[in-house]
Amino acid sequence: MLQVALSQLKTHSRRFIAITLAVLLAVAFLSATLMVNASTEASLKASIGQAYSTADLVISPPGNEPLTTANADSAASSPLVSASYAQRMVYVDSSLGSATVASFIRSVPNDPALESVPLNSGAWPSREGEIVVDSVTAERNSLSVGSKVTLTGQPAPPAEGQEGTPVEPEVAATVTGISATSKDPQMSGMAQFVGTTADVEALGAASPGYGAILVKVAPGVSISDAKNGLSTALSLPVDSVQTPDEKTTEMVAGFTGGQDQLTIVLLAFAGVALLVSALVVSNTFSVLVAQRTRELALLRCIGASRRQVRNSVMLEALLVGFTASVLGVLFAVGTMALVLTLLSQNPDFSFATLAVPPSAVIAGLVVGTLLTVLAALVPARAATAVAPLAALRPADDISVHNSGGRLRLGIGILLLLAGGAGLVYGGISANLLIALPAGAASFVGFLMAATLFVPKLVSLAGSLAAPAGVPGKMAAANAVRNPRRTTATASALLIGVTLVTMMMTGAATARHAFDTELDAIYPVDVTVESFPGDPAITDQAVAAAAALPGVEHIARLELVGMVTAGDTQLPAYGISDSDAAALLANPANRPAGTSVVLPSSLTATTATLAAGTQTTNLTATPGTNNGGTALVSLGSFTPLAAGDPLRTQEAAPLWISVDQSLDTNELMDLRTSLASALGVNEYMVSGAVLEKAMFSQVINMLLLVVTGLLAVAVFIALIGVANTLSLSVLERTRENSLLRALGLTRGQLRGMLALEAVLIAGVAAVIGSVLGTLYGWAGAQSGLGTFTEVTAVVPWGQIGAVVLVAAVAGLLASVVPARRAAKLSPVEGLAMD
């Protein structure tokens, strides 16, 4: 039977192209997923571990307390060590011209051999007041050798018994060199400085100690002996002394929480691709076996046993599956290598490293081969299920009229009802752990029962093709001629469309829920806070901010007094009626007359306002925000006097409304411009519009990634559509030729096959869209119901685009089979058997 299997593969190789492509893509997805995780860890080691790359051993504090000066002295004086570097890192604010940016400064090592970042130009600092800055910060802020920078650290807490305001340590430094930028992702976006130990200690007086001690082992001393010796000398646990690789491995594990969450997510999508591939493979083999019914029956008649016939089909699957799996692994390696090579060309991702773990190769080969063999198992059994002489009689499809159909229908309905009930309960109770498996069970039940109604829906949709004349009517009839094949093809596409629309609906619903919650937290678009006692923002700065593109209105609130509502005391700010109308979209947040607007968490209906020596009784109304301030009208109350003691405890904010049409990048740029114009740090500029932008950016990125991953499954499903049509063309060669002989033109024949594909793809897309919308809303409700009120939001435009793309893709999938059918002359086709 080996010869029979090899002969089939050789003679009908084109029939196995779709199987090979489907398995290849699924295996490539699986292998690439495992490579992504390994490459992520390798890249993190190349970036996070850069700081330790020049050392032989790294000494880390065993707990939250930093290493002491005594530890550093013990390591430096140890005969096991040839060089040591007590690494001190301090977070500071740096004044670079008119900008103040978050930064960090670390001490320069005494031995240049322990410096991990290369120096691009200039010299390392050698005395106090000299610093080296990274190249990215230097370029952004036009710094060069000789530039002046002021660094400000956190003040040390006052000694016991001492009074007075702590003084912030400050160092005025000159740039002596430009270094490469650290690859550590935790340092990204921050200015990076290197200074002398004295300067770093002065700026870090609030947090003394060292984060790590890097050492070079003395010649002739083994790493193991050095570990034990240093552990004893420094009175530290042995596991506090690690090699750079051990240290970075530990940090990566802590960085990811010790769990491969990324791999878990990607493996879920790989599972979807494998499931769709299994449907395509099983469907293809079913059709192949059906086409060869007479051939297999003839083999049985000349002496081949059922086992031999079944084994020949399984051998075909094994050979095709293994070949496709090998190609899939190679494709994954090539794709990952290309992506990471291109990524490493970007200076921000120069640390990108390719890692191909054995698990990626072994899992790809084993899973791909088993997938193909198992998917072919049912068709192989079907090949020997009937006696040779009965093989010419067509088998009944699954329906409610036979036991197989009734059993399948019963199990499917049971899973659908039980899973649907669990999904509803999980949504109502906001329990994702219940909703997730229940939703999966209901979807499996839907697929099991699909054979009983999908062909009928395709037939019903076929009435839309009636205006196309004879080709349209025949397309509708042909699309449901083989219900099992039609259902399998539609189901493969249905899975992909369901998942895509589920993510779209879930993302839109989640975005609306976040927006609603943020609207309750923030009454205005942007708020600029300041600290009590800080110099007031000048009117000139406010005017400059108001002139920025994208700013629609800006108002300075005034401190009016202190409001007491029940047992709660809140600072009261005043706003003019015109500013309130321009800034506060919700009228419930606008004060009027002698009323005060309180946070939504307070239920008091009356309150008192203390302003200096005067106390006023007020009517209280709840606002929509959950802040910690009260709001009154400046038309009824006057600001506190400049010398009022309350002004040293509270600082009134600026409220700003912005153009709602600004996208995320424009809003982030506007935030930077506002901070610069008003002379404050960026973190002091916050508000609903900025939070919404960040949430939207995360959701959009997630949606983009997920849609890209699911596109693989949809593409595999479309291969199944094309394959079904190709095999259908082969099955109906004589029939199509007879139609041609009776007057059907080539164009009409191509149109008939195209309409078949569009009907199947369109019905699958519509069903998948409906299911995806329901699952997306239920998922958002179960996941976010405990945090906020969830309202279903259906992105009709996006879902309509998905249905249209699926229909067009089905049309494109019919091009090659239709051309092949139209090219064959009627005489040749009628002569084929």
Q: Is the pTM of this model over 0.75?
A: no
Does residue 392 register a pLDDT over 60?
A: no
Range name among 155-164, 197-206, 336-345, 407-416 with the lowest pLDDT average: 155-164
- The residues near 833 (Cβ < 8 Å, ≥ 6 apart) are 734
Average pLDDT over residues 574-596: 88
The pLDDT assigned to 511 comes to 75
Per the CB < 8 A criterion, the answer to whether 707 and 500 are in contact is: yes
Q: Which band of pLDDT confidence, cut at 50, 70 and 90, is reported for residue 257?
A: very low
The pLDDT assigned to 316 comes to 80
The pLDDT assigned to 548 comes to 93
3-state SS string for 163-194 = CCCCCCCEEEEEEEEEECCCCCHHHCCCEEEE
- The residues near 501 (Cβ < 8 Å, ≥ 6 apart) are 768, 769, 771, 772, 773, 776, 798, 799, 802
What are the structural domain ranges in the chain? 1-50+258-395, 51-255, 411-452, 453-522+698-833, 558-652
The string of pLDDT tens digits covering residues 290-342 is 556 666 666 667 667 777 777 777 888 888 889 989 998 998 898 888 877 87
Alpha carbons 609 and 615: distance in angstroms, whole number? 5
How do strand 568-575 and strand 630-633 relate by DSSP bridges?
parallel
Does residue 712 register a pLDDT over 60?
A: yes
Average pLDDT over residues 443-461: 83
The pLDDT assigned to 394 comes to 44
Alpha carbons 384 and 382: distance in angstroms, whole number? 5
Average pLDDT over residues 527-556: 87
The pLDDT assigned to 806 comes to 82
State what percent of residues in the chain have pLDDT above 90: 17
Burial of 670 (0-12, 13-18, 19+ CB in 10 A): buried
The pLDDT assigned to 474 comes to 78
- Tokens matching residue 472: 């349209």
Alpha carbons 282 and 294: distance in angstroms, whole number? 20
Among 436-450, 472-486, 549-563, 816-830, the range of highest mean pLDDT:
549-563
Average pLDDT over residues 695-704: 60
The pLDDT assigned to 579 comes to 92
645 compared with 287, residue with greater pLDDT: 645
Q: Which band of pLDDT confidence, cut at 50, 70 and 90, is reported for residue 258?
A: very low
Among 429-433, 490-494, 732-736, the range of highest mean pLDDT:
429-433
The pLDDT assigned to 584 comes to 86
Range name among 137-151, 211-225, 806-820 with the lowest pLDDT average: 806-820
672 compared with 258, residue with greater pLDDT: 672
Per the CB < 8 A criterion, the answer to whether 810 and 497 are in contact is: no
State what percent of residues in the chain have pLDDT above 70: 76
Does residue 788 register a pLDDT over 50?
A: yes
Does residue 479 register a pLDDT over 70?
A: no
Q: Which band of pLDDT confidence, cut at 50, 70 and 90, is reported for residue 368?
A: confident
The pLDDT assigned to 21 comes to 78
3-state SS string for 360-429 = HHHHHHHHHHHHHHHHCHHHHHHHCCCCHHHCCCCCCCCCCCCHHHHHHHHHHHHHHHHHHHHHHHHHHC
- Tokens matching residue 194: 């290197």
CA–CA distance from 210 to each of 75, 190, 193, 201 (Å)? 13, 20, 17, 10
Does residue 704 register a pLDDT over 80?
A: no
45 compared with 139, residue with greater pLDDT: 139
Does residue 711 register a pLDDT over 90?
A: no
Q: Which band of pLDDT confidence, cut at 50, 70 and 90, is reported for residue 275?
A: low
Per the CB < 8 A criterion, the answer to whether 220 and 158 are in contact is: no
Alpha carbons 660 and 663: distance in angstroms, whole number? 8
Alpha carbons 777 and 503: distance in angstroms, whole number? 9
The string of pLDDT tens digits covering residues 212-244 is 899 999 998 899 999 999 999 988 888 889 998
Alpha carbons 73 and 476: distance in angstroms, whole number? 86
The pLDDT assigned to 259 comes to 45
Kindly give the residue spans of alpha helices, DSSP state H, lying in 480-576: 483-521, 539-546
DSSP string covering 434-493: HHHHHHHHHHHHHHHTGGGTHHHHHHHHGGGGGGG-HHHHHHHHHHTTSHHHHHHHHHHH
E strands within 67-179?
81-87, 89-96, 99-107, 119-122, 130-134, 148-152, 170-179
Q: Which band of pLDDT confidence, cut at 50, 70 and 90, is reported for residue 261?
A: very low
Q: Which band of pLDDT confidence, cut at 50, 70 and 90, is reported for residue 770?
A: very high
3-class SS of residue 793: coil
Does residue 159 register a pLDDT over 70?
A: no
- Tokens matching residue 328: 């899939």
CA–CA distance from 676 to each of 57, 63, 95, 137 (Å)? 44, 39, 12, 17
